[in-house]
């Protein structure tokens, strides 16, 4: 627990430093780096299944997907074009670079990794780049989303340890309980409302504490589902952890898992606002 708290504080300090000194561009590069490192860990898990994904090209494509809203889309190169190009490259490569009994799995897992991780996290980049009503609106909304998703995990953990009795998905993640999930949802709603109040002069006027708390609930629910999906992938690969890079937390996948499903939904919600 001590190492987890230390790592959490250090990570938030890194985020704060990146935002303060490098602004939106630094945040975009930080998200892209985390997406690529998460994809790297994902491909390592797939190798445990005896499948050889196109990891190096996949990581390059993943980085391009995350950076494209800032650098490529202003020039007319959109995410769909990049995904199509990646599919073409991998489809051509499997004809001669993999065993015949591995080709379909190689293509499927390589593309799934790109779509599930960097493509989904590219919506967090889009949130960062929101520039109205204030120049820092996007950064603050991104911090709001990350905090809501991550504090759901904290609330669920503490509530589950205290009063957790009923298992949520024992075959997938034995430690998760329904009581913990409710605690996580309540924590996220409170954090979301509090941050909306603190950021009131930098976020859209319609993003009131009440609206923020309401939006936080599905974000928190998806954060829990994201974590369960990662557990399914780890169990499929017969792996306990995705890595041990971050003490008390695990690997990069353990760090970003709750942001994968939440980023697109949060972006859609912010767009409506």
**Residue 210 binned pLDDT confidence (cut-offs 50, 70, 90):** very high
How many beta carbons lie within 10 A of that of residue 37, not counting itself?
20
Among 14-23, 185-194, 204-213, the minimum mean pLDDT is found in 14-23
Compute CA 136 distance to the chain's CA centroid, rounded to the nearest angstrom. 21
64: pLDDT strictly greater than 90: yes
> What's the pLDDT tens digit per position in 94-128?
988 777 788 889 999 999 999 999 999 999 999 99
Q: How far is the C-alpha of 135 from the C-alpha of 102, rounded, in Å?
A: 49
Q: How far is the C-alpha of 157 from the C-alpha of 180, rounded, in Å?
A: 6
Task: Identify any residues that bridge with 90 across adjacent strands, giving them in sequence order.
Answer: none
Q: How far lies 216's CA from each of 130, 148, 175, 181, 222, in Å? A: 19, 6, 23, 13, 10
């Amino acid at each position: 627990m001590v190492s987890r708290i230390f790592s959490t504080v250090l990570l938030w300090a890194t985020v704060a430093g990146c935002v303060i000194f490098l602004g939106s561009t630094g945040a975009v590069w930080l998200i892209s780096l985390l997406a690529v490192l998460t994809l790297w860990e994902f491909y390592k898990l797939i190798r445990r299944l005896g499948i050889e994904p196109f990891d190096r090209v996949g990581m390059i494509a993943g980085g391009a997907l995350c950076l494209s809203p800032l650098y490529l889309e202003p020039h007319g190169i959109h995410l769909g074009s990049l995904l199509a190009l990646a599919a073409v490259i991998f489809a051509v490569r499997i004809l001669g670079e993999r065993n015949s009994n591995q080709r379909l799995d190689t293509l499927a897992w390589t593309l799934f990794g790109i779509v599930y991780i960097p493509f989904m996290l590219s919506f967090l980049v889009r949130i960062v780049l929101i520039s109205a009503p204030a120049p820092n609106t996007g950064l603050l909304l991104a911090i709001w989303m990350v905090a809501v998703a991550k504090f759901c995990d904290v609330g669920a953990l503490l509530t589950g340890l205290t009063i957790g009795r009923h298992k949520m998905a024992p075959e997938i993640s034995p430690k998760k309980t329904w009581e913990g999930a409710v605690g996580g949802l309540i924590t996220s709603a409170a954090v979301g409302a509090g941050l909306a109040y603190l950021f009131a002069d930098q976020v859209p006027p319609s993003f009131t504490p009440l609206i923020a708390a309401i939006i936080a609930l599905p974000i928190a629910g998806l954060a829990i589902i994201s974590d369960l999906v990662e557990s399914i992938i780890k169990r499929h690969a017969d792996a306990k952890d995705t890595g041990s890079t971050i003490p008390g937390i695990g690997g990069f996948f353990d760090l970003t898992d709750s942001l994968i499903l939440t980023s697109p939904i949060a972006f859609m919600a912010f767009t409506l606002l």
